[in-house]
Structure 1
Amino acid sequence: MGCDGGTIPKRHELVKGPKKVEKVDKEAALAARWKYCALSTEKLRRPIVSCDLGRLYNKDAVIEYLLDKSADRPNGEVVSHLRGIKDVKELSLTDNPEWEGEMRNTKGDRYEDMNCAMFICPVVGLEMNGKHRFCFLQTCGCVFSDRALKEVKTEICHKCGDPFKEEDIVVLNGTKEEVDKLRKIMEEKRAKTKAVKKPKKSKIVETVSKPSDLKESPESTETVSADGNISTQNVRDSSQTVSGAANSSSSSKAIKPLAMPGSKRSIQTMDEKSEIYKSLFTSHSSAKRTKDQTSNWVTHTPYHF
């Protein structure tokens, strides 16, 4: 078989050499990163969110992942650093007026520009198709091209006017080196937040323990004499001296204990009430019965007196 008709085989047809390295299509790779969700591999649709590493996701896909992390997903490693919905920021994107949708060339009779993107930079007008570097601000979520941030240097957002710092700028779909740098910054921020939360808990414990210490410590008062000298005296000691002086002055009269505002006092001990008023209550001496007046047995509903 073969070599019929005087054909001469060449060397590459007879000897098997090393396999050629498959090259990835650049346009297909850019479309996969900038037009599709990094988690669900579905087309990006609003609302679109991004993490601290600059990856693009559909918000619905992120919420489904956070609700059920045990489910098997093909791109589970991409979102392994997400702990909650606060770790992502919803992006404020600017629509491209030239974007006509995916079905703009249904008949196939017109040129289809693969570089046309859904969103553009609101300052410079560059399309967000992967050929230009884009960033977003963690403070407000507005998306700009890197060229716009370099040409118009300001500390206020060009779109919404919120202030921001250089630390708040995150590169979207950056290189491997940029992603590693963003990962270090993310870990440092999380470590700082943990260090800030711990002192707050210790302060709460201290405030709870302070009132008990104050109850145990005796109360003291400061008095200023005519010479200008300040002398401190415990309230308990002063109260004892006052009570001692009262006992010595009223030795002949018996001092009745004053009732506390929350305690109950018997009506019979009230001097301001008359005897007629006191006799209306069962605690009066006239209402008490002797042994002869009481019966020897008691029923559930006694009809004797």
Structure 2
Amino acid sequence: MPVWILITVTAAFLQNIRSVLQKHLKSVMGTTGATFVRFGFGLPFAALFVVLLHFGVGDPLPPLQASFFGWVAIAAVAQIIAQALLIQLFSHRNFAVGTAYSRTEPAQAAIFGLLFLSDAVSGATVLAIAISLIGVMLISVARTAVSPASLVTSVFTRSAGIGLASGTFFGIAAVGYRAASLSLGAPNFVMQAAFTLLVGIGLQTGLMLAWMLWRDPGELARIRAAWKISLAVGLVGASASFGWFMAMTLQTAAVVKALAQVEMIFTFASTVLIFREHINKLEILGCLLIVAGIVVLLLV
């Protein structure tokens, strides 16, 4: 079994744990704070990964390219926006459905891969995008009277808009981080991923800290009060991102994110067992269609 598959499944499991913890944080702090803890509390762990690889394993630091910083900046900002949108979405719908909206990310990553990295888009990729879009529409109307008209107009609802936008920015971030890691070229995929993570998460921490100091300094007090859970979010978040970056250095972003839909299994388990939330049949069908669309993308 290719190593990128094992890394991706592990990262998906860790990401679900991070999302569960962030949903709890949303009840004690704002969207900005719940988004920040993923980066600010993950930074020490990202630095630790690089230190262990450099001084423990003996991997040299990668040679830097100008393009590396450009791609990291684009990816870092896109990921901040995507994460904030996803956390905001949790306030509109239940945990599993909120997560499912962003699952159009791999299909969108395929489009951005074509635009920015010249990755080919096949007919099967187009089919995958269509299947996922139908899934999003079903979720949007799952708690309303379903009709052909409502299926068409569902993608223009507030929840659908936030979810699709989250998927768009996640797709941009995935392609950007892959491009950044590949631009390093050496010494190996593990150090390339770790170094990309450190620079990216460092930039994100600085940007979000400056934003909170300017717009909402009171959020810092709420973050300090929830430091224990925030630290856990930082650990699993940084570890999951490390996994994504390693996998995307070895494989295209769209394919990695397609396999990552295994997270939906973990998400449904969290929804039922932890949050005790109800999911109706149309919501389940919509989620399954999104996953099916991504599976088609994986088989391309």
- Indicate the structure with greater strand content: 1
TM-score exceeds 0.5: no
- Indicate the structure with greater helix content: 2
TM-score, normalised to structure 1, is 0.22
Which one scores higher on RCO, CA 8 angstroms, separation ≥ 6? 2
